[in-house]
Amino acid sequence: MGVSGAVGTGVRTGSRAHDDRDGWGAWDDGPLGRWERVLDGVRAYRMIAGMWIRSTMAYRVSFVMTTIGNLTATGLDFLAIVLMFSRIDRLGGYSLPEIAFLYGLSAISFGTADLVVGSMDRLGRRVRDGTLDTLLVRPAPVLAQVAADRFALRRLGRITQGLAVLGYALLTLDDVHWTILKVLLVPVTVISGGAIFCAVFVGGAAFQFVARDASEVQNAFTYGGATLLQYPPGLFARDLVRGVTFVLPLAFVNWLPALYVLGRPYPLDLPEWVAFLPPLVAAGCCALAGLAWRAGLRSYRSTGS
Amino acid sequence: MRTKLLRFGPDALGKAGVVGSGRLYAAVAVGGFRRYATYRTATLAGVFTNTVFGVILASTYTALWDERPHLGGYDQSDALTYVWLGQALLTTMCVMGTGFEDELIERIRTGDIAIDLYRPADLQMWWLAQDLGRALFQFVGRGLIPFAVGAWLFDLTLPASPLTWLAFLVAVALGALVSYSFRFLVALAAFWLMDGAGIVQMTWLAGVFCSGMVLPLNVFPGVLGEVVRALPWAALIQAPADVLLGAADPVGTFAFQAGWAVALLAAGRFLQAAATRRVVVQGG
């Protein structure tokens, strides 16, 4: 009861800012209208996420425990890599710090996307049980509502774990000749990578409008993608690397910029400047995901129950 | 409530009830199978995801065994077979949870469990039958295709003898039994903890790590390796894999799995008795 009340008030305040519009007509407005609509979405997102954070913080011990659990759970795959390196010195020609560098970048980017829009994989369930209809009648962008739904602050665990592994990598990498360009590239990579993964989540959610029960397909690209990027590209079949470079451009999340920083050869004989493309690729992915989302939402037919 | 339990409990059915209850549990198992078989799109989606993860893991294991051939007594194709068996058995063994335990915990939390305890069926047997039905479906529905794709894409060790395959199936069945017995214990903990989220998460963690999903248990170094190979999770994936790959003596493996199954089922019995006798059921 308190939960829906909070959303109600929040949204009402949000729409009062420009009450000349009902939020739906904004689709066809000029660039200014679209910009306002984005701000509107961000405002709604902040309010819904804030509400979920407050509700989480009502059970502080539970929050601390689940965050630690999340951190440990996401640390298991790094533990597996450490265990591997207890038996070997190099994997695919890469040392442990180099793999930790790839791992840290992948984990932080994926963790950020998971925190921001990770709840979107529940969309299929909402379509199935008809609760999506509730979101459609609220005067706030549906994308913001779905993304902020059940906002789980415990997902900070994965980001923290990624930061720790990246920190370990930066402290132990000794063959890297750091330049200003390389130093700047690291934060740019993390932000662009997060945006690319966000686009994958949104695109996956759009797909769930069509295939309601197929939410697990998305895991192959989100969790699977994040796992893939933890290892050097040389380990994987050429066609797979080609697929994640040109079709679903996950290679730009961390592989290409990280290989530039590490001074390692690129896969597929790509030119050196591709390391600087992640922001552009991220923008392109987000635009495509936005279009897919819009198409999915427009094709939505309620279950009618 | 105790008097009702005595009147309608399975013991009261007597000898004539044995055949009847056998039929009952068979029907429950069929129901468990059909319940999961209903969601075909979800099954296909799961098969796809297992296959993608299989390809990723198989690629990393190839690099690992390139570096250290015969690591843990496996050669490269043994290791790849292990990867694909892991993907095939992942849902069968409920390594990452989402089996009956979530439902049972919810029933304990809401107090619906009181109705279950009135039923003329034993709680542990009822859920066992349901879970074995589920396991059979997920073995066939979600296990076979990823394994076949793995065998097509990679060079796997596939034994020629049908006896080995039969022994493998026995090991899978025993593994499913151990998996169930353990998760039943976890679910019953909700009688005392009320909120099962924490313990389910711990079980998930332990399951993923100790079952050999992240790395085969025979690759774990030193004492850590000896410990994880003795724990019940070793019965889920490592044991069937070792039987199929001929890396372990089937009889000894069966004994290991059956030992854990009996111990955990007995513990479940004990906990069930304690829970129904001492704990006040939640709810209105």
With pLDDT > 90 as the criterion, what percentage of chain A qualifies? 49
Q: A30 falls in which pLDDT band (50, 70, 90)?
A: low
Q: B129 falls in which pLDDT band (50, 70, 90)?
A: very high
Interface test with A, best of B48, B52, B219, B227 (most A CBs within 10 A): B52
Q: B280 falls in which pLDDT band (50, 70, 90)?
A: low
Q: Say how many domains are in chain A.
A: 1
User: Are the Cβ atoms of A211 and B52 closer than 8 angstroms?
Assistant: no
Is residue B16 exposed (0-12), middle (13-18) or buried (19+ Cβ within 10 Å)? exposed
CA atoms within 13 A on the CB side of A280: 6
Q: Is the pLDDT of residue A38 over 70?
A: yes
Residue A93 placed within a domain: yes
Interface test with A, best of B66, B142, B214 (most A CBs within 10 A): B214
Residue A140 CB neighbours (<10 A): 23
- Predicted confidence at residue B281, as pLDDT, reads 60
> What is the rounded CA–CA span in Å between residue A11 and residue B129?
48
Q: Is the pLDDT of residue B27 over 80?
A: yes
pLDDT tens digits, residue range B136-179? 999 999 999 999 999 999 999 899 999 999 999 999 999 999 99
Q: A97 falls in which pLDDT band (50, 70, 90)?
A: very high
pTM given for the model: 0.85
The partner residue sitting opposite B63, judged by closest CB among A73, A92, A211, is A92
- The alpha carbon of residue B202 is apart from the nearest alpha carbon of chain A, in Å, by 7
Sign, CA torsion A99/A102/A108/A110: negative
Q: Is the pLDDT of residue A10 over 80?
A: no
Sign, CA torsion A6/A10/A16/A21: negative
Number of A/B CB contacts below 8 angstroms equals 98
The answer to whether the CB of B184 falls within 8 A of the CB of B101 is: yes
B98 lies within 8 A of chain A by CB: no
The partner residue sitting opposite A216, judged by closest CB among B45, B209, B214, is B45
- Predicted confidence at residue B40, as pLDDT, reads 86
The partner residue sitting opposite B67, judged by closest CB among A90, A217, A240, is A90
Q: Is the pLDDT of residue A19 over 50?
A: no
Sign, CA torsion A132/A133/A139/A143: positive
Residue A17 CB neighbours (<10 A): 11
Contacts of A87 in chain B (CB under 8 A): 64, 68, 71, 219, 221
- The alpha carbon of residue B61 is apart from the nearest alpha carbon of chain A, in Å, by 9
B197 lies within 8 A of chain A by CB: yes
User: Which amino acid makes up residue B242?
Assistant: D
Residue A9 placed within a domain: no
Contacts of B68 in chain A (CB under 8 A): 87-88
The rounded mean pLDDT for chain A is 85
- Predicted confidence at residue B239, as pLDDT, reads 95
The answer to whether the CB of B144 falls within 8 A of the CB of B61 is: no
- Predicted confidence at residue A192, as pLDDT, reads 95
Is residue A8 exposed (0-12), middle (13-18) or buried (19+ Cβ within 10 Å)? exposed
Residue A5 placed within a domain: no
pLDDT tens digits, residue range B76-103? 999 999 999 999 999 999 888 778 888 8
Q: Which two tokens stand for residue B282?
A: 């939640």
Residue A132 placed within a domain: yes
With pLDDT > 90 as the criterion, what percentage of chain B qualifies? 55
- The alpha carbon of residue B11 is apart from the nearest alpha carbon of chain A, in Å, by 41
Q: Which residues of A have a CB under 8 Å from any CB of B?
A: 62, 65-66, 69, 72-73, 76-77, 79-80, 83-84, 86-92, 211-217, 219-221, 224, 227-228, 231, 235-237, 240
Q: Is the pLDDT of residue B4 over 80?
A: no
B52 lies within 8 A of chain A by CB: yes
Residue A135 placed within a domain: yes
Q: Which two tokens stand for residue B146?
A: 């990823």
- Predicted confidence at residue B108, as pLDDT, reads 86
3-state secondary structure of A94: strand
- Predicted confidence at residue A8, as pLDDT, reads 38
pLDDT tens digits, residue range B37-54? 888 888 999 999 999 999
The partner residue sitting opposite B42, judged by closest CB among A79, A91, A213, is A213
Q: Which residues contact A303 (CB under 8 A, 6 or more apart)?
A: A127, A128, A129, A130
> What is the rounded CA–CA span in Å between residue A177 and residue A253?
22
- The alpha carbon of residue B82 is apart from the nearest alpha carbon of chain A, in Å, by 15
Average pLDDT over residues B58-82: 91
- Predicted confidence at residue A287, as pLDDT, reads 94
The answer to whether the CB of A97 falls within 8 A of the CB of A90 is: no
User: Are the Cβ atoms of A216 and B42 closer than 8 angstroms?
Assistant: yes
User: Are the Cβ atoms of A231 and B60 closer than 8 angstroms?
Assistant: yes
First to last CA, chain B: 15
> What is the rounded CA–CA span in Å between residue A279 and residue A302?
37
- Predicted confidence at residue A14, as pLDDT, reads 38
Contacts of A227 in chain B (CB under 8 A): 53, 56
> What is the rounded CA–CA span in Å between residue B116 and residue B131?
16
With pLDDT > 70 as the criterion, what percentage of chain A qualifies? 89
- Least confident range from A121-125, B8-12, B95-99: namely B8-12
> What is the rounded CA–CA span in Å between residue B47 and residue A170?
38
Please give the biggest Cα pair distance in chain B: 66
The answer to whether the CB of B68 falls within 8 A of the CB of A88 is: yes
Q: A305 falls in which pLDDT band (50, 70, 90)?
A: low
Range(s) of the domain holding residue A175? 19-298
Q: Is the pLDDT of residue A165 over 80?
A: yes
Interface test with B, best of A60, A67, A83, A255 (most B CBs within 10 A): A83
Q: Is the pLDDT of residue A28 over 60?
A: no
B220 lies within 8 A of chain A by CB: yes
- Predicted confidence at residue A9, as pLDDT, reads 37
Residue A14 placed within a domain: no
The answer to whether the CB of A89 falls within 8 A of the CB of A154 is: no
The interface predicted TM-score of the complex, written ipTM, equals 0.83
B111 lies within 8 A of chain A by CB: no
Q: Which two tokens stand for residue B67?
A: 């570096």
- Least confident range from A2-11, A191-200, B187-196, B228-237: namely A2-11
Q: Is the pLDDT of residue A23 over 50?
A: no
Q: Is the pLDDT of residue A263 over 60?
A: yes
DSSP-derived letter for residue B9 is: S
Average pLDDT over residues A205-231: 88
Q: A167 falls in which pLDDT band (50, 70, 90)?
A: very high
Average pLDDT over residues A10-32: 45
The partner residue sitting opposite A76, judged by closest CB among B41, B42, B214, is B214
The partner residue sitting opposite A224, judged by closest CB among B42, B56, B197, is B56
Interface test with A, best of B62, B205, B215, B224 (most A CBs within 10 A): B215
Nearest CA in chain A to B51: A220
